[in-house]
Amino acid sequence: MPQYMDIAVNLIGSSLEKDIQRVVDDAKAHSVTSMVVIGSHIEESKQAAKLCQQFPEQLYSTAGVHPHHASEWQLDSAEMIRELVRQSSVIAIGECGLDYNRDFSPRNMQRKAFAAQLALAVELNMPVLMHERDAHEDFLAILKEYRPQLPAALLHCFTGNRAALEAYIEQDLYLGITGWVCDERRGQELASIVPLIPDNRILIETDSPYLIPRSMRPKPKSCKNEPKYLPYIAEYIAVLRQQSVKGFASQTYINSRTFFGLHN
């Protein structure tokens, strides 16, 4: 049986928070043996790191400030993240980036917080987990300044077009693919370009509890996405890429462990 690593789950501050033990147990029962809990602001990053202590080698976390929270970025934010990454379970800087779709934080503040976190990832020699929505040109311009010095960089929940895909592959990014690709309404373009991602740069994720795969049959009773559905997403993508499910699962597991600097 292949193992799976879910590279992005939102357990803190989401509808799954009150149910974490069951979520982790159900994931394990479906061969999802490890997952990365996203920190989207400083306090959430602290809580995520604390949660990981209860599930060693099953849960890991990130520490960072999402563009939605970029207006909260302050002079001491970088120091707080430096403190958090001293814990072995904190394995990436992020989630950071730009989101011009929602604009929950002013764009100039988003750019400032993004650049500061990329600089921090360079300083700490840590991989960075990034977010980009409707901000491709600014995102790419800022990323290019730091990419040569970053050990590894991941754009999670990639939903862009072919031109964006090619630009990100040119920057040697890892790309995280979610159940968005299973959505017959809005995932068709992504489904058509997923085969273009190099074998050693594709990662899979649920982004739980969001983006439940719409094509699952029978449909889950709950509309909440969970890490236990990751094997379904893997199977769906493997078919699109004309690869064996077992081979694709093994490749993405190795890719995930490699990106985060974990021993396979």
Domain around 144:
4-259
CB-based contact 204:4 (threshold 8 Å):
yes
Task: For residue range 77-131, list pLDDT tens digits in order.
Answer: 999 999 999 999 999 999 999 999 999 999 999 999 999 999 999 999 999 999 9
- pLDDT value, residue 3: 96
Q: Is residue 131 part of a domain?
A: yes
Q: Is residue 206 part of a domain?
A: yes
- pLDDT value, residue 1: 81
Percentage, residues of the chain above pLDDT 90: 92
Buried b (16+ CB within 10 A) or exposed e, 111-139: bbbbebbbbbbbeeebbbbbbbbebbebb
- pLDDT value, residue 263: 77
Please give the average per-residue pLDDT across 149-174, as a whole number.
97
Q: Is a pLDDT exceeding 70 seen at residue 167?
A: yes
Compute the distance between CA of residue 188 and CA of residue 164 in angstroms, rounded to an integer.
15
Output the CA angle 16-251-66, nearest 5 degrees.
40
Please give the average per-residue pLDDT across 40-49, as a whole number.
97
Compute the distance between CA of residue 7 and CA of residue 9 in angstroms, rounded to an integer.
7
Q: Is residue 180 part of a domain?
A: yes
Please give the average per-residue pLDDT across 226-242, as a whole number.
98
Take residue 71 and report the two structure tokens written for it: 């207006």
Compute the distance between CA of residue 171 and CA of residue 217 in angstroms, rounded to an integer.
37
The residue ranges of DSSP E strands in the chain, in sequence order, are: 4-9, 32-37, 59-63, 90-99, 128-133, 153-155, 174-177, 202-204
Task: For residue range 132-149, list pLDDT tens digits in order.
Answer: 999 999 999 999 999 999
CB-based contact 177:224 (threshold 8 Å):
no
Q: Is residue 112 part of a domain?
A: yes
What is the pTM (predicted TM-score) of this model? Answer: 0.96
Tally of domains in the chain: 1
Q: Is a pLDDT exceeding 60 seen at residue 264?
A: no
Task: For residue range 212-228, list pLDDT tens digits in order.
Answer: 999 899 888 888 999 99
Q: Is residue 264 part of a domain?
A: no
Q: Is residue 249 part of a domain?
A: yes
CATH code for position 159: 3.20.20.140
Q: Is residue 37 part of a domain?
A: yes
- pLDDT value, residue 87: 96
- pLDDT value, residue 13: 87
Q: Is residue 141 part of a domain?
A: yes
Q: What is the mean pLDDT of the chain?
A: 96
pLDDT band at 253 (very low <50, low <70, confident <90, very high): very high
- pLDDT value, residue 225: 96
- pLDDT value, residue 210: 94
Please give the average per-residue pLDDT across 248-252, as a whole number.
98
Task: For residue range 184-216, list pLDDT tens digits in order.
Answer: 888 999 999 999 999 999 999 999 999 999 989
